[in-house]
Chains A and B, each alone.
Chain A
Amino acid sequence: MITALLIFFPILGSLLLLLLKGESVKKIALLLVLVEFAISIAAALRFVPASGTQFLLDIPWIPAYGIHLKAGIDGISLLLVLLTTVLVPLIILSTFQRNFKNPAAFYALLLFMQAGLIGVFVALDGFLFYVSWEIALIPIYFISAIWGDENRVNVTFKFFVYTIFGSLLMLIAIIYLYLQTPGTHTYDLQAFYDLNLTLSQQTFVFWAFFIAFAIKMPIFPLHTWQPDTYTSAPAAGTMLLAGIMLKMGIYGAIRWLMPISPMAWSQNSYIIIDLCILGVVYGAIIAMVQNDMKRLVAYSSLSHVGLIAAGAFSGNLNGLQGAMIQMISHGINVVGMFFVIDIIEQKTGSRFLRDLGGMATKAKTLSICFMIILLGSVALPFTNGFIGEFLLLKSMNDINIWYGAIAGLTIILGAVYMFRMYQKSMLGELNSLTEKMTDLKWNEKLVLFTIVFLIIIIGVYPQPILEVSKYASADLLDLIHSREY
């Protein structure tokens, strides 16, 4: 019941928003996503970490094709659902100083996308998973294409065709799995787990899924849509893309890819981890020379996600748990980062490092929040980035010392480009542009303080998060390793 509510409430909310006009839209949108947040908290409070998938929803949808609305929440799902329901209100709150043309459509699309994201994170039926996956994609296409900057049209278009091609491959894999299920076929995830596929069948499924997920994350070399799209989407769209949407890819790998094709995974995991680690270094090096702050964070995100994906694909508990907590931390940090950049751009008219400088004197609170978010991203102890990065590097180290060593560069390189960004924007001399800088408004304070609070609280006391996903992660790995050969 609560799962159904989580999926369908935002859809109803978005239909409601379409009926509204004028200024009140954003407030009502915020109210709706706060209700959604409350629902997710209610789910979290009733959640028992050790007892597997809970709040099961299972009603026939298209019986003729064995399609059910089947969804449930386990530890892994819960964390990502919470990430979504926490970040979406912050993202909506972050737009309060903006006036979009046609706000009803904007916020309706945002809520619709939230439904898609949550659907992806709770779906236990292949068809539902695919449909949710696409439902999350369509709104972000429109958000970026309609409300983005002047380059948006072609950039967004590339992103859209790119990702939809990946998802079509995934659709083929899902239909293929469906046809392998015994008896009257079904799209049930458990039935997919129980299939006895040969290695070659698994290899096919593995790559079809992998391409879809790798485009979404993105993993080098399928990342080429990402920097442009992040740069030209409106700030709220970028936050959705980087904060939540790319987690769909990693979640898909954890929930669908590895358990369904464990043999193919164990054969190919080294290639994948190689690619991920390559992306870590590649993203970091390019980020170091960026001038556009949004682009810089886009590449840094590529770098961070490379490490998260490597951990998810490593197949050991540290890696998976590290990936889980790091997905949460990365989501929070990257949303904060893009919001800071958005504030700077709105007030000074530029987000290019060469135009900026000295803003710390003009905007104290902003500069402090920015610093804390940066520290979270570079994984300083007692910030949220630390524990995840630590677990991930440990898991890389366990596989191969070289992986650990190279991936460890992410911390050093991350510190380089992040502090370079801080130094060039916040420190130094004021200039004519940054003269105009003012400190935070109430909604900006609310968003950034929440983010800073989360960064510190997770950094100091990450145990509850690790606890939530611990059992689910262990079960999943047992499942994978029991059928690896």
Chain B
Amino acid sequence: MIALVILIITALVLLFAGLYHFNKALLPLSLLGILSALVVTILDWNQPKYYFAETLFIDNFSVAFSSLLLVSTGLIFLLSSDYFEKISKNVAEYYALILFALVGALCLISYQNLSMLFIGIEIMSVSLYILAGIRKNDPFSNEAALKYFLMGSFATGFLLFGIALLYGATGTFNIELIAESIREGKILDFSILYGGILMVIIGLSFKVSAAPFHFWAPDVYQGSPALITAFMSTVVKTAGIAAFYKLFATSFIGLEQFWVPVITVIVVITLLVGNFTAAYQLNFKRLLAYSSISNAGYMLIGIVTLAAYSSNAVFFYAAAYSIATIMAFSVLLLIKNKTGNTEIESFSGLGKSNPGLAFALTISMCSLAGIPLTAGFFGKFMIFSSAISQQLVWLIVIAVINSAIGIYYYFKVIKVMYTSESPDSNTISIPAGYKIVLSVGVALVLILGIYPDLLIRLF
């Protein structure tokens, strides 16, 4: 788990660099930290190992998800040159806090012990509470932070309570041992166990913004600075889904008749709420917030099915979703710099004034909508395949209807770009970091869409 150490040290160094105003060094340093953490993480491939008194377990699942988080964070950092300087004077704190949140997210993916799950969530959430409110003179940012903090701590309370109940029922925090005691029937009291599972579901659903525990998400996503929103809706969400998946796929096997219906209901509500509300949004940032809710729904289908390879399906989906979302946010930032707002209207005429930018956003929207030959299509394809293999016919019907609605609102953006005229036809100059992110994004989306074999049988 050297990656964690590297990231923490990088974050501390960044704080000192900020203290002595080495602002130029911040971005290269953080990228360097992430890159070396990525290398170290990938070196653990195919070498399952326990760390820290068996509280962390690194297997291919966690290596893959950790790499995804590191890459996503790296891409977000590439977008951040000059961005944080505009918001506040204390730039170093941003980088450090994001890295701390990333450390929490990595713990969330690799935990073997419920206490580590809790610690990971706390490290991640506390950093995010600060980041959401970091524009301290902006009332929306303050509202976002306060809402996020209140709701988030409430959810953490549920989670902690659930963990305590699980411990009460099984006598252990280790997720393997929980599975073992369930398998061998060594449960002291089933009602306590079930209560614990329910509490954990509620707590984790808050964190991945699954309905009906999603109410904080749109406001927080809209109020936070855009890059922080991008971080929350990709890295944080992916980590939450991975933790969710890991817990249920490891510990609660054999109790499916209890928790599958609960999560199925959550999936259905999440899909319906996310998509139907997204269809009515006029603001692109808010649209992405609801899109992130509905995508959580698709990923949770992977947990409901627990078929062979459904962990890989969730991973592929999360990767496709993260790349496309980061691309969308980068275009959003450029548009916001130009027009000053984030309404969908302000994308009009982009097809004419900035064909390259419009093309990149088109690819990103196609991927989110699940159009063939993009990565997003194959993600949906894998999720649907695993659901159909479990005969979840109604779930699939609902998912299909929601995909069609998704196409409606993602294509709304494409439609505006190419068919509306804009009074302001000035070309946006694209900074180098954005160029890198967008071209890497387009390449990844298309490569994974045309040749998904690269990532579909990892673990």
Query: Chain A interface (Cβ within 8 Å of chain B)?
Result: 61-65, 130-131, 134-135, 138, 141-142, 145-146, 152-153, 157, 160-161, 164-165, 168-169, 171-172, 175-176, 178-179
Find the residue from A131, A145, A165, A171 having the highest chain B CB count within 10 A.
A171
Q: Name the contact of A161 in the complex, choosing from B389, B407, B452, B456 (C-beta under 8 A).
A: B407
Given A63-B453, A138-B371, A142-B418, A157 and B411 contact (CB-CB distance below 8 Å): yes
Q: Name the contact of B400 in the complex, choosing from A135, A145, A169 (C-beta under 8 A).
A: A169
Query: Residue on B with the closest CB to A60?
Result: B453
Contact B418 A179 (CB under 8 A): no
Please, what's the 1-or-0 string for B376-405, where 1 marks a CB less than 8 Å from any CB in chain A? 000001001100110000001100110110
- B195 close to chain A: CB less than 8 A: no
Q: Name the contact of B372 in the complex, choosing from A62, A131, A172 (C-beta under 8 A).
A: A131
CB distance from B301 to the nearest CB of A (A): 13
Contact B419 A62 (CB under 8 A): no
Contact A179 B385 (CB under 8 A): yes
- B457 close to chain A: CB less than 8 A: yes
Contact B453 A171 (CB under 8 A): no
In the complex, how many residue pairs between chain A and chain B have their CB atoms under 8 Å apart?
A: 67
CB distance from B261 to the nearest CB of A (A): 22
Contacts of B451 in A (CB 8 A): 61-62
Contact A152 B419 (CB under 8 A): yes
Contact B407 A164 (CB under 8 A): yes
Contacts of B453 in A (CB 8 A): 61-64
Given A172-B396, A179-B385, A145 and B373 contact (CB-CB distance below 8 Å): no
Given A64-B457, A134-B372, A152-B419, A168 and B385 contact (CB-CB distance below 8 Å): no
10 of the cross-chain contacts (CB-CB < 8 Å) are A130-B372, A131-B373, A135-B372, A146-B351, A157-B408, A161-B404, A164-B407, A172-B388, A172-B397, A179-B389
Q: Name the contact of A62 in the complex, choosing from B373, B415, B456 (C-beta under 8 A).
A: B456
CB distance from B344 to the nearest CB of A (A): 14
Contacts of B366 in A (CB 8 A): 138
Contacts of A161 in B (CB 8 A): 404, 407-408, 411
Contact A165 B419 (CB under 8 A): no
- Given A61-B453, A63-B453, A165-B404, 7 more A-B residue pairs with CB atoms under 8 Å apart are A64-B453, A135-B372, A135-B373, A153-B419, A168-B404, A172-B388, A172-B400
CB distance from A132 to the nearest CB of B (A): 9
Contact A179 B408 (CB under 8 A): no
Contact B418 A168 (CB under 8 A): no
Q: Name the contact of A146 in the complex, choosing from B371, B403, B407, B419 (C-beta under 8 A).
A: B419
Query: Residue on A with the closest CB to B405?
Result: A161
Contact B372 A160 (CB under 8 A): no
Tell me, in angstroms, the Cα distance from A62 to B400 when the chains sit together: 23
Tell me, in angstroms, the Cα distance from A157 to B419 when the chains sit together: 12
Tell me, in angstroms, the Cα distance from A152 to B419 when the chains sit together: 9
Contacts of A171 in B (CB 8 A): 381, 384, 400
Contacts of A61 in B (CB 8 A): 451, 453
Tell me, in angstroms, the Cα distance from A17 to B433 when the chains sit together: 29
Q: Name the contact of B452 in the complex, choosing from A62, A141, A168, A176 (C-beta under 8 A).
A: A62
Contact B404 A145 (CB under 8 A): no
- 10 closest A-B pairs by CB: A165-B404, A134-B372, A131-B372, A168-B400, A64-B457, A153-B419, A175-B388, A64-B456, A62-B453, A146-B418
CB distance from B427 to the nearest CB of A (A): 16
Contact B388 A176 (CB under 8 A): yes
Q: Name the contact of B415 in the complex, choosing from A131, A134, A135, A145 (C-beta under 8 A).
A: A145
Contacts of B396 in A (CB 8 A): 172
CB distance from B422 to the nearest CB of A (A): 15
Contacts of A178 in B (CB 8 A): 385
Contact B385 A175 (CB under 8 A): yes
Query: Residue on B with the closest CB to A160?
Result: B411
Contacts of A152 in B (CB 8 A): 419
Contact A65 B385 (CB under 8 A): yes
Contacts of A179 in B (CB 8 A): 385, 388-389
Query: Residue on B with the closest CB to A148?
Result: B419
CB distance from B307 to the nearest CB of A (A): 10
